[in-house]
Amino acid sequence: MAISSVAVIGAGVMGAGIAAHIANAGIPVVLLDIVAEGAENRSAIAAAAVVKLLKQQPAPLMHPRNAGLITTGNIEDDLQLVADCDWIIEAVIERLEIKQSLYRHIDRVRKPGSIVSSNTSSIPLRDLVAGLPEHFAEDFLITHFFNPPRYMRLLELVGGEHTRAEAQAAVRDFADRSLGKGVVKCKDTPGFIANRIGIYWIQVAVAEAMALGLTVEEADAVVGKPMGIPKTGVFGLSDLVGLDLLPHLMESMLMRLPESDPLRDRAAIPALIGKMIADGYIGRKGKGGFYRLNRAGGGKVKESIDLVSGEYRRSEEARLESLSAARSGGLQALLRHPDKGGEYARRVLTQVLGYTASLVPEIADDIPAVDEAMRLGYGWQFGPFELIGQVGSDWLTGQLRAASVAVPELLERVGGGTFYRVTAGRLQYLASDGHYRDQVRPEGVLLLADIKRSGEAVAYNGSASLWDIGDGVLCLEFHTKMNALDPEVLAMIRQAIEIVPRQHKALVIYNEGSNFSVGANLGLLLFMANIAAWDLIGEKVEEGQQTYRALKYAPFPVVGAPAGMALGGSCECLLHCDAIQAHSETYMGLVEAAVGVIPAWGGCKELLQRWMVNRRRPGGPMPPIIKCFETISTATVSRSAAEAREYLFLRPEDGITMNRDRLLTDAKARALALAEHYRPPEFEAMRLPGATARVAMDMAIKSFRLAGKATAHDEVVALALAGVLSGGDTDITEALSEEEMLALERDAFLPLVKTTQTLDRLEHMLETGKPLRN
């Protein structure tokens, strides 16, 4: 069955977030809650939730207009609105009697075959459907979203013994393709997968930090980056989700955990945390948590709580020898180190990885499900079994035995081997029966990581590679630090332009890094500027321009497939592609003004031309120029692929893929479709107003400067940009060629790089990752 309309009952943080993300998929959604007591509008709770969605940051909605797809109401008056919905999601308070009462009301109005699911985080499915009609149980399952639903990709799916296979398949497919979720099938056990392991990890990490006398900064630094865990670590994560949730989660888990489960031994909430909750220090949504911002005296000082005294003090960077060792030697060096950081890492990993190994197949059918749940639900770079592969199963077994802890059967079975291996180019995992099985991807998923396991690159250098992804399509991958663009990346683009026409049809530009690319390598630019290699900088600017121009006019279609940040020079690269197939979470922008320069690899030219030919723009020569000027001078970055269309970083015909694992497949399909009867584009000469437009922009710049909204150097950069976008010394009667527009970019770029202010901005950005306003 196809899901084309959805209802969410419960307009709290989770319910509203789920409704917002369904609207992000372009699906109409009904959002209901209880009647607001004493309110004139009986549906005020749901209506207020939508208003809050429009103000919330990070934004739950990919575009404000998506709020228009949400119909609000209340359960007493508007429950009939769910009658036409294909999927009804319950997201109310975690009380069994309230949920079951609601299910009986839903069952009286829903259409036959519609699917009902609960977003419960802890109540077993068998309890939820107990005493309800069999036909309801057949249509019922658990769909556990993670908060915030837009950004956290995990969806845990639990079916019961009576749940129809068709219902599970329909939700899985919809959540995968339309919502972009990584759907993990779980068993009906307490906490499912991610929270069963995650809660144990938090409890162990907090208790061991206190036992060893670590500061919160030290603990978060140890269990963070060296283990591939987000820098929030464990204390920062607790602040993020809210300390007040911990007692409720533990109470729910203890009601249902097996008597012998090790989590029972770690269930106690430390007295310090109990006092923090009582005093309102519950994390970011309260007065602070393990960390807080002290705004006394109008300042903003980050402080951390002392785990012994409970007093706050100024936060300090963790300085442990074990952390220094980890920076050069990785996780193994951290675990070998004798200081308290090394001991902490050993204790936490031994207990958490040992516990995880003991839970399969109780909580999931296989280890890839466990690893994916922790990657997508808690943001770990490596799942627990992947971490065991890094530390060694022999090491973990030895640590458990030394602590007199029983070695799990699955760990005994792997012996000195690994839980994953590559055989004949195929990734395999160790199943519970002791045999290795191929890891099978869902239909329509194509990962570059799998391509790379099965063959050699068509071409390779230290910064980029070219891979054959089948059906006559090559894939160009960046693989520098943060995928920054350097001369070798440009060289690989030129090499691809030579290679593709020989035996192939099309090119896709794509990678599986956290970000498509942060733009040009600023460190290299700063180095050349510091040695006054101005001619060399000029050559590199022209090299980038000509490389992208050759890409644009190549005799084959080029499809850019970004995900994450696509900034500066990489945004310029995408603007030169024939088409873009973007992941929904793509953050694009020409951000060069933030570091004191302007886009000079054709970005000004390409964005301006898009606005010039845009059929929906106002008439006259000025509107497209002003729109580009506003976008580029303010270093505007889209907060989603949908928003990127507003700035014409994406054209109306460019595609958006919700599930990142399907991005390469969709981009490849787009490239093959374009390859049929392909003809390279032609540049439409520009007629620009010249001085007339430049004066108008000059006036706007000066007003911003006088209002304190721009610095003196912002004004210098904006004036240079205005000169490019207005066409230089031209007027509306003259047609400017593409080469003339590129020359304007080059001529404006070099003088800006020579300024002290731009060099200061470049240095500050490299040191802090943040722009400097000077």
E-state strands within 599-727 = 655-657
Scored b (16 or more CB within 10 A) or e, 242-256 reads: bbbebeebbebbeee
Residue 559: name the closest of 473, 468, 436 by CA: 473
Q: Say if residues 439 and 429 touch (Cβ distance below 8 Å).
A: yes
DSSP 262: G
* Paired sense of beta strands 29-33 and 586-589, if any: unpaired
E-state strands within 200-318 = 291-294, 301-305, 312-314
- Cα dist from 383 to 292, 357, 425, 578, 649, whole Å: 30, 12, 21, 37, 35
How far, in Å, CA of 101 to CA of 103, rounded?
5
**pLDDT at site 122:** 83
How far, in Å, CA of 60 to CA of 221, rounded?
29
SS3 content of the chain, % helix, strand, coil (to 5): 50, 15, 35
State residue 233 phi and psi, 5-degree precision.
Answer: 60, -140
Q: Say if residues 454 and 425 touch (Cβ distance below 8 Å).
A: yes
**pLDDT at site 540:** 97
DSSP 283: B
Domains defined for the chain, CATH in brackets: 6-185 (3.40.50.720), 194-416 (1.10.1040.50), 448-591+637-675 (3.90.226.10), 598-635+685-774 (no CATH)
Q: Say if residues 753 and 529 touch (Cβ distance below 8 Å).
A: yes
Handedness of CA 533, 538, 541, 542 (dihedral sign): negative
- State in Å, rounded, how far the first CA of the chain is from the last one: 58
Residue 480: name the closest of 434, 501, 436, 511 by CA: 511
Which class for 715: exposed (0-12), middle (13-18), buried (19 or more C-beta within 10 A)? middle
State residue 291 phi and psi, 5-degree precision.
Answer: -120, 155
**pLDDT at site 615:** 84
The tokens describing 726, both together, are: 């207005």
State residue 180 phi and psi, 5-degree precision.
Answer: 75, 25
Q: Name the strand (E) or helix (H) holding 211.
A: helix 194-212
State residue 681 phi and psi, 5-degree precision.
Answer: -70, 165
How far, in Å, CA of 373 to CA of 384, rounded?
10
Q: Say if residues 140 and 87 touch (Cβ distance below 8 Å).
A: no
Scored b (16 or more CB within 10 A) or e, 216-238 reads: bbbbbbbbbbbbbbbebbbbbbb
Radius of gyration of the chain (CA): 28
- Cα dist from 423 to 384, 429, 449, whole Å: 22, 10, 14
Give DSSP secondary structure letters for 561-618. ---EEEETHHHHHHHTSSEEEEESSEEEE--GGGGT----SSHHHHHHHHHHS-TTSP
Counting Cα atoms < 13 Å in the Cβ hemisphere of 399 gives: 22
The tokens describing 96, both together, are: 């069994």
Give DSSP secondary structure letters for 56-124. -SS-SSSSGGGGGGEEEEEHHHHGGGGGG-SEEEE---S-HHHHHHHHHHHHHHSPTT-EEEE--SSS-
Angle at the Cα of 194 from the Cα atoms of 191 and 198, rounded to 5 degrees: 90
Q: Is 429 helix (H, G, I), strand (E, B) or coil?
A: strand
State residue 158 phi and psi, 5-degree precision.
Answer: -125, 120
Relative orientation angle of helices 738-753 and 603-612, to the nearest 10 degrees: 130
For the chain (774 residues), the mean pLDDT of every run of 10, in chain order, is 95 97 98 92 97 96 98 97 98 95 98 97 93 97 97 97 97 98 97 96 97 98 97 95 90 91 95 96 94 90 96 96 96 97 98 98 97 97 97 97 96 94 96 94 96 96 98 98 98 98 97 97 96 97 98 98 98 98 98 98 98 87 94 97 97 97 98 97 94 93 90 96 96 95 98 97 94 90
Q: Is 523 helix (H, G, I), strand (E, B) or coil?
A: helix
**pLDDT at site 619:** 83
Relative orientation angle of helices 712-725 and 738-753, to the nearest 10 degrees: 170
Residue 99: name the closest of 70, 57, 134, 128 by CA: 128
**pLDDT at site 36:** 86
Which class for 443: exposed (0-12), middle (13-18), buried (19 or more C-beta within 10 A)? exposed
Which class for 750: exposed (0-12), middle (13-18), buried (19 or more C-beta within 10 A)? middle
* Paired sense of beta strands 436-438 and 115-118, if any: unpaired
Q: What residue type is assigned to position 26 of the chain? A: G
Q: Name the strand (E) or helix (H) holding 477.
A: strand 473-478
**pLDDT at site 38:** 85
Give DSSP secondary structure letters for 296-308. GGG--EEEEE-TT
Q: Residue 535's Cα: distance from chain center in Å?
A: 39
Q: What residue type is assigned to position 748 of the chain? A: A
How far, in Å, CA of 731 to CA of 102, rounded?
69
Which class for 468: exposed (0-12), middle (13-18), buried (19 or more C-beta within 10 A)? middle
The tokens describing 277, both together, are: 């909750």
Give the other-Cβ count within 10 Å of 330's Cβ. Answer: 12
- Contacts (Cβ under 8 Å, ≥6 apart) of 444: 662, 665
Q: Is the peptide bond before 60 cis (omega within 30 degrees of 0)?
A: no
**pLDDT at site 524:** 97
Return the biggest CA–CA distance within the chain.
86
**pLDDT at site 252:** 87
Q: Residue 269's Cα: distance from chain center in Å?
A: 32
- Cα dist from 244 to 78, 138, 288, 490, whole Å: 33, 35, 12, 51
Residue 544: name the closest of 573, 575, 577 by CA: 573
The tokens describing 138, both together, are: 């057949």
The β-bridge partners of 185 are 157
**pLDDT at site 616:** 83
Relative orientation angle of helices 271-278 and 245-256, to the nearest 10 degrees: 130
How far, in Å, CA of 347 to CA of 512, rounded?
32
Which class for 312: exposed (0-12), middle (13-18), buried (19 or more C-beta within 10 A)? middle
